[in-house]
Amino acid sequence: MQLRRLFVWLAGIALLAPVSVFAGQKNEGKFTVAESVQFGTSQLKPGDYKVQWEGSGSDVQIKVLQYGKVVATAPGKLVPLEQVPGRDSVTLDATNDVRKVEKIDFAKQKQELVISDSSMASGR
């Protein structure tokens, strides 16, 4: 009887394990900028931000939040990485003397957010 109970318990854990793996994947991360930068069509001041995205692959909508309020939005895409970065990082493009966020890598995630051209982005 105890063997049967143990088997049922282990089977239940085996069934719930894949669900917990997917539940742990959040479409969000954090980043910090030390200087004013452009994100889509919005200007971000130096500080800490939270980023959330909806969608996958080449079609994601990105929201940047500060203190719980959306301060910028932009379209983008998720690009798989071969190597997981050791820390969060933001890559800037400084074309035409305008510093704009080009991509964001998050520690321990095998994908990066690439922000689409700001001419296609929408800001708040």
Please write the tens of the pLDDT for every residue from 20-55. Answer: 333 445 799 999 999 999 999 999 999 999 999 998
Decide which of 31 and 8 is more confident: 31
How sure is the predictor about 107, in pLDDT bands with cuts at 50, 70 and 90? confident
| Predicted local distance difference test score (pLDDT) of residue 77 | 92
Report if residue 102 sits inside a domain.
yes
Report if residue 34 sits inside a domain.
yes
| Predicted local distance difference test score (pLDDT) of residue 121 | 40
Mean pLDDT of 87-113: 89
% pLDDT > 90, the chain = 48
Alpha helix segments (H runs only) across the chain = 2-23
Mean pLDDT of 89-93: 91
CB 36 within 8 A of CB 46: yes
Q: How many domains does the chain have?
A: 1
Distance CA 120, CA 8 (A): 53
Q: Is a pLDDT exceeding 50 seen at residue 88? A: yes
Strand partners, 52: 28, 63
Domain range holding 89?
A: 27-120
How sure is the predictor about 5, in pLDDT bands with cuts at 50, 70 and 90? low
- Is the full-model pTM beyond 0.75? no
Dihedrals φ, ψ of 2, to 5°?
-70, -35
Report if residue 63 sits inside a domain.
yes
| Predicted local distance difference test score (pLDDT) of residue 56 | 72
Report if residue 43 sits inside a domain.
yes
Report if residue 57 sits inside a domain.
yes
Distance CA 85, CA 68 (A): 26
Report if residue 101 sits inside a domain.
yes
